[in-house]
A and B are shown apart, each in its own frame.
Chain A
């Protein structure tokens, strides 16, 4: 069955460092992959979408890579800030009328 694994439930890093979150998937050949941020008590917020023919995508301090051979996406936040503390969710997806299936998320804490 399809499986999405996000590294460690919680990740603590020091302010100013680069946070790297991992999303691995099995029994999947997604056409694209999305990353979301969720704060406690709130709905997820869309951050980035990367397609299978794109190796890397950037948006401000965020960078996402997508390796279809390794079946893995890496999500980087450079120059991390305490305001980046949240749970980050990945969602690999097929094209067509296929709703997103989310990983359990990684809770990131950036310590000042």
Chain B
């Protein structure tokens, strides 16, 4: 089992472009979570998804950000019209059900230039 796979590891985008971050959860895990981390800051919750459903998106900005976890394929976090303030490490985690420890991926480091 390869664990939670995130790609790309590093992503550079110019202001105004779109960023797509992908996350393949561990096999058998149906719960996916996205977090953002700024340098020297804590992990900030963004969105929680189960297959084809958004369970909680309370941490995700209402504009420019969207997330999906389709029936087939990885979960995608999409950021439209990126700005410098979007530069951060984005981590995806998965769990088999509630009240279990999360397995995190290695993250995608987004740099907006």
CB proximity of A52 to chain B, nearest CB, Å: 11
- Stretch in A12-20, A41-49, A68-76 touching the partner: A41-49
B65 within 8 Å of A (CB atoms): no
User: Chain B contacts of A96 at CB under 8 A?
Assistant: 98
C-alpha spacing A2/B48, complex, angstroms: 19
Interface size on B, residues (CB 8 A): 22
Question: Within residues 44 to 79 of chain B, which ones have a CB less than 8 A from any CB in chain A?
Answer: 45, 48, 55-56
Residue of A nearest to B34 (CB): A99
Of residues 30 through 55 on chain A, the ones whose CB sits less than 8 Å from some CB of chain B are 31-32, 34, 36, 42-47, 49
Q: Taking CB as reference atom, which chain A residue is nearest B103? A: A46
CB atoms of B104 and A44 under 8 A apart: yes
Give the residue name and chain of the B residue nearest to A51 (CB): B99
Asked if B110 CB lies within 8 Å of chain A CBs, one says: no
Q: Are A31 and B99 in contact (CB under 8 A)?
A: yes
Count residues of chain A with CB under 8 A from any CB of chain B: 24
Inter-subunit contact A46/B102 (CB<8 Å): yes
B42, A99: Cβ atoms closer than 8 Å:
no
| Interface residue? B43 (CB, 8 A) | yes
Q: Which of A21-29, A78-86, A100-108 has 4 or more CB atoms under 8 Å from chain B?
A: A100-108
A residues near B102, Cβ cutoff 8 Å: 34, 36, 44, 46, 100
Contact residues, B14-55 vs A (CB, 8 A):
33, 35, 41-43, 45, 48, 55
Q: Which residues of A contact B (CB under 8 A)?
A: 31-32, 34, 36, 42-47, 49, 89, 93, 95-105
A105 touches B42 (CB 8 A): yes
Contact between A32 and B99, CB atoms less than 8 A apart: yes
Query: In the bound complex, do residue B101 and residue A99 qualify as a contact, i.e. CB atoms below 8 Å apart?
Result: no
Question: Given known contacts A97-B98, A98-B98, what 18 new A-B pairs fall within 8 Å (CB)?
Answer: A31-B99, A42-B106, A43-B104, A44-B93, A45-B104, A49-B99, A49-B100, A93-B99, A95-B99, A97-B48, A98-B56, A99-B48, A99-B56, A100-B45, A100-B102, A101-B45, A102-B45, A105-B42
- Taking CB atoms, residues of chain B closer than 8 Å to A44 are 43, 91, 93, 102, 104
